[in-house]
Structures are given as C-alpha cells and as structure tokens.
Structure 1
C-alpha cells in the first residue's frame, strides 16, 4: 500500500507498553475513504477493537493519536493532532476526543504513520522515542517529578536532537489527577479529557517523535498553487488579521457579554471585559507563536517580571481570572504558569477553584472539609495551595484531584454548585447567554477548542410549512452543521478555529487540497458524509462507554432558576426538545 499511497501513509503503529513491543498494521483504503483521518480513524478503531467494559485506568484502554492526509504538508493551519481515549473527566467516564495543536502530529506523519495506538502498562516509568520506524522504550525514572519544561529539555538533550517533538506530562499526570493534560513544545496542550491521567496510569512520561520521510502528493504543483492561493486569502481576511493580532482574545472584541464570573453567579459586561482584555494585550503580550504550517500565529507569548512563556488563551485566562474572582493579571498569569508546569488543564482547574470558592462563600464547605485552606473569591495564595495539594496528592488534594463533580459526590456536598453540562466542565461563557450556545453545550458537551465560547452564528429558522412544526429545528440544524464543519477540520488535521469557528477555510477548500494530495477527487458531499459518519460513530461510542442513565441532572438547576425571561426560555427550550442526551437522533 505504501508504494501507491499519496497524502496518506496507510499505516498505524501499535505499541504495547506491557511487553515492550511495537508492530505495524495497514489501515484499509475503505477506512481512509470513509473516515479520512484524525478523529475519524480513532473512532473507527475504538468501535472495532475496544471493549466497552474498560475503565480509564485499565492497561487495555488505548491512547489513539491520528493525523489526516494534509498533515505534514504546506496546507495552511494543518498542524493539529487528534487524540482519543476513554476519559476519566466526564461523570461517568466515557470515550473522549481532544484536538491537540502544535507540532507533534506532523512528525508522526514523517515517521511513516497516520495513526499511533498505545496500549498496556509499563512495569516502571518509561518514555517512548519514535525515530522513523524505530520505537525505543527508554527508562524514565530520572524524569519523575520534573515539570513539563524540564522533561522536554531533558529528553531533547538525551536524544541529542533539539528538533525532536516531545509530548509529555508533568507531576499532576504522574499522580493521576483526573484533569491532568499533555504538553508539546512548552505551550501546546491536549486538554479537557484527562490525557495526562491516562499517560500516568500507563507509567508513560512522554512520547518523543521525529521522522524524515516527506509526504508524497498526487499533484504537487496543483497542491502548491492551492496552498498559496488559500494563504493569500487568509492573509487578506480581516478576521484572520484580528486573530493574528489578538489571539483568542478577539472573543471579547466581538462580544464581551455573558462570560461567567464567580462560578456563574455574575456575568461579564462588554466594557469591563474589553478593559480586562486590553490590559493583557498592552502590558503582558510579548509576541506570537503558531502551530505547524500556520500563517496566522494566534498563540500568545507572555512576559511577566522577566519570565517568558506561551500557551495562554482566552479560556484558560478567564478560568483563572474573573471566573474565580481575580481581576489582577499578575495573579492570573502566575496561576496559569503553575498549571502549565505541573501539567494541569487550566480550564478544569479554574472550574474546580470556582466551585470551591463558591461553596466556601455559601458555607457549603468548611475547614472540616477543606482542611486549613479556606479559599475565598480572589485568593491567589489559597488557590496555589489547592493546586499544590492536587499535584502532590496530599490531604484534600486526593479528593479534589478527581474534579469538582466527583469531589462533590465524595464529600456529599456542593453538587448543585458544581459547574457542568452532561458531566463536563463548563467553558467560560455562561450557558444562559444565548439559546444557541446552551443547545450547543447540551448537544456536544465533549467538544473543546480555544474559541468554544464563541456564540454560534446560526441562521434564523425558516418559516414552518405546517403550524405544528417547531422552528427550533432550523436552529439545531445550524448548530449541527457548525459541529460537522468542526469534525471535518479534525479529520484533516486542520485548525478548528479557522475552518469552523471563523470559516476561513471551507469544505470546498479542503476538498481542493485533498484532491491534489490524494488519488481521489473530493467535493463537499463525500467530505461532509465522512464528518457525519464520524459523528455517528462517536455517538455510538458515547453510549457504549457511558451508563444508560446518569445519576445527576444534565446541568445544575441553579443556572435556570433565575426569574429573568431569557433563562426561562432556555429552560423551556431545553425541556421541550428533550435534550437530556448529548446527541441528536
């Protein structure tokens, strides 16, 4: 298959940590045509090969990494990697997917593979070094306790290669915090589904990968011209220019209303939100960084007191700022840096802290529950102590490391204050800010990206042909269409921000790129069919790995007990449409 493959490699690498063996499997042409790559290949693998009885900590729980046929090429914004596993974050544990930005995925492609599957558990801590088709199982005992920066540098020095791409965990993942993440190049993180926990449960500290086999293209000249044309269009687009200059903080320029403050007991107003944004862009933004093959560079480089680091985006900053009652950027930035080094998802950490502070404020949790650390709104010192207790798994950190929902269940207190939708942490935007946004969270609670709080622009529903027809169908069709575009971006390793959230790359554009890269001609219909097929597979996996019925409400009812009319409308809309499950039948 390799000799006649263009765009794809047509192969997956399977690694068993328990027996320290690696082997190669072919990916069928039918699967490549039907699922393209990325999360489509991962979903198909789980559907065919993974037992529904597995827990996140089971050695047989796979870590699946996949890229699409555009990965490793000059295609704009094609540096993303799809990662899937049974996640410890939802309540209860379910199949989860994360879109990882950065530079790691293209190196997997250069090593000769479209997909990497890791199973088993190592007897002692190891890291994987994948150099072309060679897989080395390296001792990692000396890396235990090192933060994400120290780990990355140590592995690059050991391999004598500063260009090798390292994906690693910090101490939080080693100690099995449920919302631990993974980090590439100091800045780019795989958040939201607890990948660091799964790494740690397998005694896997890091995966370092490099390759030197270029991607073959079916029509190289046509592909190059298409890439140049798309890059010129992106360069001229005003939305791309704003994303380049402001990063994900452009959200607040577009609409600063409705972001949750103090665990959603208050909501942001445009003037205050814009002032908060401008304070960062003026005083702390030092530069920009971008993923592989990105002409935009929406990542931010931050400078504070002579320290420089990347990785800050709107969701993480808001979660460790106004969401926990902190309006001083210095405090937010240092909390973010602590999470980054320790390998904790900053958004989930902010969600947990906001729950603790809210419960402390209301007297739901006391010193008998939390120990000597009582955490009031805006208390950065107490927040650091809680983070330390989680990463060291000491005292109350043993319980808090499970996330706020499981902590509330364990303590028997504060369940109504826990911010969630379908058992997943809420993003920065208050779900009551718009009906479209509330429906998006209810339908697709597992989805996450840097612009997830962008309230979807959904066309007005058409007039009903019959009086009994619900006009909500048009709204939901628009929401599902947006999600389908996002999935299509993931299948092709394209940034979901530019392809779905801001619509800078269309399905037709991706079809032109795929037609030039592979031996197949693609247009909008087969592309959207592949996205719909992937969504159907993920729906089945969500149901397979989850309980038939959750033992908690889909969302905290306190969010919808407000007498304001907009909240009542959202609640009625949610109840009328029967959105107690996260998928549309």
Structure 2
C-alpha cells in the first residue's frame, strides 16, 4: 500500500542464485529514520558478519526516504549503503545521490533495492512499474563508458527509462570509482567498485504510470514545500568561467530553480551533453591554466568529461594530481617508470592518459587505482611526506595526517607552488605551518583563491 511517503515494499535480488524476494518496508520504518536509517538496518540484517567488501555475500543497498518522489522538497535524493573497500576488509559507508533515479525506483513500486551475490557474467537489472524484474545480459555493455552504455540501454528499453550505470573504472574495481545516473548525478563513497565486483553494469527502471507516493497530510506538505521555497538561498559562489557556459539544469523535485543551484550542462563539439558544475568542473582548471592558458578551457572541460564517462571520483583525483606533480618535481617519480607524461600535467595528453590507465588498471594506473595512501606506501622514497601540500582532499578512507602550509596572497603554497590550501572555517588563512591530525569524516574546507573573485570553496573529507 502506498502511503505516508512509502510504497510498502523492499526488493532483494541475489545475483548468484537469481532469487528475488520482497520485504515489507513497515518492518523498518517504525524504528529507523529515513532512507539512511532503513538502509543501515537492512545491511545489518542481510549481510553476514565478517563479510569483506568484495565478498559475493556483501550487500549493496539502494534506498529511498519518505520524501523521495515528492516535488518541491528536494525529492531527488536517495542513498547507497554498503561496505567500502578502503580500510582492511572494509567499513560501512554510504553515498548520497541526486537525479531522478531514486524517484523512479519508488514510482516502480519499491522503497529500496538490496543486491547481493555475484553474477557469473556481466548483467544489468531491469525493473518496471508493471511488476517485471529481470536480470539481463550485459556482455555488450561491459567495457563501455557510461555514456556509451546508457545510449545502448535507452535504445533497448526506451528514452524515458532511468539508468544508473558504472564505467570502466567501476568494472575494474577502482577504489574511488563513481556510477552515473542518466541525468548526470554521480555516486562514489567507495561503493561503486562493488558493482564491478558483482558484474553489475547497470540498474534500469521504467515507470510509465508513476505510482507516486501519498503524504499523510498533503495540504500541510504543500505549505511546507512553499515555505522551503520561500527560504531558499543561492547555494554557491559566482564562478564566471562556468556561468558563461552551459545551461542551468535541475534535479527532479528540486526545491529551488535556475539561479539557485550551480547544476549546468553543456553540449560538446561531439554533440554529447556533459555536466559543467560543482567541484568536478574545476578539478583540472589550475593545472590547465598553468600549462597552456590559451588551451585551458578545452583541457579542463575534457577532464570532467573523462572522469564522469569512465567513472572516477574527482574529489579523490584532486589530491592525486597534486601529489603526482610534487613527486615528479622532487624526482620521486619519472615518466618512464609511470608511463605518464608527468611533464605535461595540465595538458589533454596527460589527463587522458591518467584517466585511462587508472580506469583500466594499466601499468602504474593499477597502483593508483587503490587510492593515494596505498600508492604512496607502494612508491615509498619519501612520497608519504608530500600529502600535506596536496591537502589530502580524498574519499579514500585511509589513515594520514594533514600538513597545514603557508600560502601567498594569490593562494599558492609558498614552498611548492601548488594552488591548493586548507582554510579555516571562517575563511581566514592559517599563518603557521604544522602537522595536524584530523579525525576521519571530519569536514574541512579546501579552496582556491583567485585575485578576481576570492575563494572557491568546496567541502571534502579527510582522514587521520
């Protein structure tokens, strides 16, 4: 029964046995709050103790909350819960995702989906609002990028379907791989590599009738949505380079509207549409500007395209780029031993080579695919001491310390020239350099300072 924001059913699929079962949502919702609470309890109940991240018995939980599917209340948000592979045998983690995929899962009749087991060949899941639940062959999709795979799937099932897919990085179990929805929202948190481990290329949902959830008190919900809309504020600082390009785009059920969110897409010369917003849009900007100011735009746009298409988390890539640059400068890494054109960081050649080597685990990319901390431990030669200037803005979930350094008026590290800085919560620059252990999951601000428009600030996660 669809009531109070829930459909009433949770779906479980074992890819090994191909057994599908259904659970009642009400067993969980009377005790656990929202999608994250229900997802944690589902994982606890359905995953055996001692299961490691890439064990077939390890569950991945795709879960919605009671607000998912309602418009005007950011009803686009949903969660993935599971055990991330980053520390030892793994630790419980989650990814928060936008787009419309979560709403479509609910419109198809399910509050959540739990996937366990491992398929004997590449597969994708197909669900619809007519009760069809199928495990379909995905051999023709395996090895394809996100856009290639989604184009093929839309041709098979219709353009109105919502897709959540992994690229080559996820297939090859890169620890910081991402998956992408058909409306350019991404999920990371270390969980996407487990889709690759299960040989699960995508989850496709078709909901033509849209069995929308019903609120307990719909009139009051409308008033709440109006109040939220009236209170909304612009959620980002101006970034002229990107405001001038692309078109505003909204998540399904967005609380705001154009001008209140930095979500943008643009059409590349190839005719393909790509996103152009948030941290992903700026991950390669400063390197590209330093390498070739006249060709920078093409390089940093391509960097975002490649990461989204192959499925790499740009939040993890950011400190990796800074670390590689420092290691090359200090003579710790060379082009011959890495197979990377390290002298050309900022170029199209470098970012293309880097993304492909990591995504396919080729050569030195196989080491980089396990995360920055593990890479430095493997490389040695003092490379671990270079974490601090890199800022260590990473989701690798590994142990490290942060070195707070001194920066010049333009925001560049005075000793390394790297344009990354840790800044205090009130936006002031730290004046004293010292080693500062930071607790895992503690949030801190990392920004780029530019003379023309101050700090570009983003949230990140650090480790101790």
Contact 2:7 2:106 (8 Å CA) reproduced: yes
Q: What's the TM-score once normalised by structure 2's chain length?
A: 0.79
Is the alpha carbon distance of 1:386 and 1:432 closer, same or farther for their aligned partners in structure 2, counting shifts above 3 Å?
closer
The residue aligned with 1:515 is none
- Cα offset for 1:42? 1.4
The residue aligned with 2:203 is 207
Where do residues 239-258 of structure 1 align in structure 2 (5 Å cutoff)? 239-240=233-234, 243=235, 248=236, 250=237, 253=238
Aligned match for 1:361, one of 308, 321, 329:
329
Where do residues 382-421 of structure 1 align in structure 2 (5 Å cutoff)? 382-413=350-381, 414-418=383-387, 419=392
Q: Which runs of 5+ in 1 are unaligned?
A: 254-276, 456-500, 502-553, 556-579, 581-585
Aligned match for 1:54, one of 30, 51, 55:
51
Residues of 1 paired with 2:80 and 2:385: CA distance? 31
- Cα offset for 1:189? 0.6
Residues of 2 paired with 1:131 and 1:405: CA distance? 42
- Cα offset for 1:446? 7.7
Q: Does 1:423 align with 2:383?
A: no
Residues of 1 paired with 2:197 and 2:316: CA distance? 19
- Cα offset for 1:171? 1.5
Is the alpha carbon distance of 1:166 and 1:304 closer, same or farther for their aligned partners in structure 2, counting shifts above 3 Å?
closer
Residues of 2 paired with 1:300 and 1:91: CA distance? 38
- Cα offset for 1:375? 4.5
Residues of 2 paired with 1:453 and 1:381: CA distance? 27
Where do residues 447-458 of structure 1 align in structure 2 (5 Å cutoff)? none
Is the alpha carbon distance of 1:227 and 1:320 closer, same or farther for their aligned partners in structure 2, counting shifts above 3 Å?
same
Aligned match for 1:155, one of 149, 153, 156:
153
- Cα offset for 1:379? 3.8
- Cα offset for 1:330? 2.1
SS in 2 for 1:338: helix
Contact 2:265 2:277 (8 Å CA) reproduced: no
The residue aligned with 2:11 is 13
Contact 2:100 2:183 (8 Å CA) reproduced: no
Contact 1:186 1:310 (8 Å CA) reproduced: no
- Cα offset for 1:305? 4.3
Residues of 2 paired with 1:347 and 1:371: CA distance? 23
Where do residues 520-539 of structure 1 align in structure 2 (5 Å cutoff)? none
Residues of 1 paired with 2:385 and 2:334: CA distance? 16
Residues of 2 paired with 1:374 and 1:100: CA distance? 33
SS in 1 for 2:307: helix
Q: Does 1:224 align with 2:222?
A: yes
Q: Does 1:278 align with 2:217?
A: no
Aligned match for 1:314, one of 245, 253, 278:
278
CA deviation vs aligned residue, 1:169-189 (integer Å, no higher than 9, x gap): 112212222211100015111
The residue aligned with 2:455 is none
CA deviation vs aligned residue, 1:75-130 (integer Å, no higher than 9, x gap): 42110111112112457732211101111000111122222110000000000001
More strand per residue: 2
The residue aligned with 1:481 is none
Aligned match for 1:164, one of 161, 165, 169:
161
Aligned match for 2:124, one of 111, 118, 127:
127
SS in 1 for 2:385: coil
- Cα offset for 1:433? 1.0
Aligned match for 1:27, one of 25, 28, 45:
25
- Cα offset for 1:392? 2.6
The residue aligned with 2:249 is 289
- Cα offset for 1:334? 0.7
Q: Does 1:109 align with 2:109?
A: no
Contact 2:10 2:25 (8 Å CA) reproduced: yes
CA deviation vs aligned residue, 1:378-427 (integer Å, no higher than 9, x gap): 3442232122212232221221211221112223342222425762899x
CA deviation vs aligned residue, 1:259-315 (integer Å, no higher than 9, x gap): xxxxxxxxxxxxxxxxxx322323xx2211111111325211134546553433331
SS in 2 for 1:76: coil
Residues of 1 paired with 2:103 and 2:317: CA distance? 29
Is the alpha carbon distance of 1:40 and 1:446 closer, same or farther for their aligned partners in structure 2, counting shifts above 3 Å?
farther
- Cα offset for 1:43? 1.6
The residue aligned with 1:198 is 194
CA deviation vs aligned residue, 1:457-489 (integer Å, no higher than 9, x gap): xxxxxxxxxxxxxxxxxxxxxxxxxxxxxxxxx
Is the alpha carbon distance of 1:371 and 1:453 closer, same or farther for their aligned partners in structure 2, counting shifts above 3 Å?
closer
SS in 1 for 2:120: coil
- Cα offset for 1:142? 0.7
Contact 2:345 2:351 (8 Å CA) reproduced: no
Residues of 1 paired with 2:323 and 2:442: CA distance? 20
SS in 2 for 1:56: coil
Residues of 1 paired with 2:443 and 2:164: CA distance? 21
Contact 2:71 2:252 (8 Å CA) reproduced: no
CA deviation vs aligned residue, 1:334-372 (integer Å, no higher than 9, x gap): 111111111222222233222212111111222453136
The residue aligned with 1:43 is 40
Pick which of 149-158 and 196-205 moved more.
149-158
Q: What's the TM-score once normalised by structure 1's chain length?
A: 0.64
Root-mean-square deviation over aligned CA pairs? 3.2
More helix per residue: 1
Residues of 2 paired with 1:14 and 1:441: CA distance? 41
Residues of 2 paired with 1:436 and 1:423: CA distance? 27
The count of residues paired between Structure 1 and Structure 2 equals: 411
CA deviation vs aligned residue, 1:315-341 (integer Å, no higher than 9, x gap): 113322226856623211111111111
Is the alpha carbon distance of 1:372 and 1:70 closer, same or farther for their aligned partners in structure 2, counting shifts above 3 Å?
closer
Greater RCO (CA < 8 Å, at least 6 residues apart): 1
SS in 1 for 2:275: strand
- Cα offset for 1:429? 10
Residues of 1 paired with 2:379 and 2:278: CA distance? 31
